[in-house]
Amino acid sequence: MPRLSIDELEVMSPAQLRAAWREQFRRPAPEIGPALLRRGLSWHIQARVHGGLPTSTSKAIDRACSLLERTGSATSDRTISIKPGIRLVREWHGKTYHVLVLEEGFEHDGRRYESLSQIARAITGVHWSGPRFFGLRSRSLKGLAADG
């Protein structure tokens, strides 16, 4: 497969872009205009040189696609969008608790958890919405959205 350069894409006709797409992706080009074909091919060229998306981003895209197929929407009230490496802090009954966001799950007090709700239960002893417990969701804003 010949190596394309981004500069070459700029002078290609729509038919040439579609042929390049078929060659690069091994499937017909989507029904989009030449500008978007150039962008898609440019990304493909750059990904080949510099690497593609991080695994966490690919997984998030897969989850959004699955959700879109099931519900017709790619967003969910249950989706938490916080990046790995973020540290969440919550004070509860005079004690401060720290949670580290991992690539998959969370770490609190030296243990790994799948969800913030599990950590909130471990801290409080009762069921809590983990995102609400750690201040990632506002009860008043959620109420306004449901009532509006």
> Tell me, what's the pLDDT at 96?
94
Say what the pLDDT of residue 30 is: 93
Burial of 123 (C-beta count, 10 Å sphere; 0-12/13-18/19+):
buried
Taking only the tens of pLDDT, the chain with its 148 residues reads 568 899 999 999 999 999 999 999 999 999 999 999 999 999 999 998 888 888 888 888 888 888 888 888 776 655 557 889 999 999 999 999 999 999 989 999 999 999 999 999 999 999 988 988 998 865 433 433 333 3
**What pLDDT is attached to residue 3?**
82
- What is the reported pLDDT for 101? 94
Q: How far is CA 115 from CA 15, 63, 67, in A?
A: 49, 16, 19
Distance from the Cα of residue 131 to its chain's centroid: 17
Q: What is the pLDDT of residue 144?
A: 35
pLDDT of residue 79: 54
What's the pLDDT score for residue 141? 39
**pTM of the full structure:** 0.45
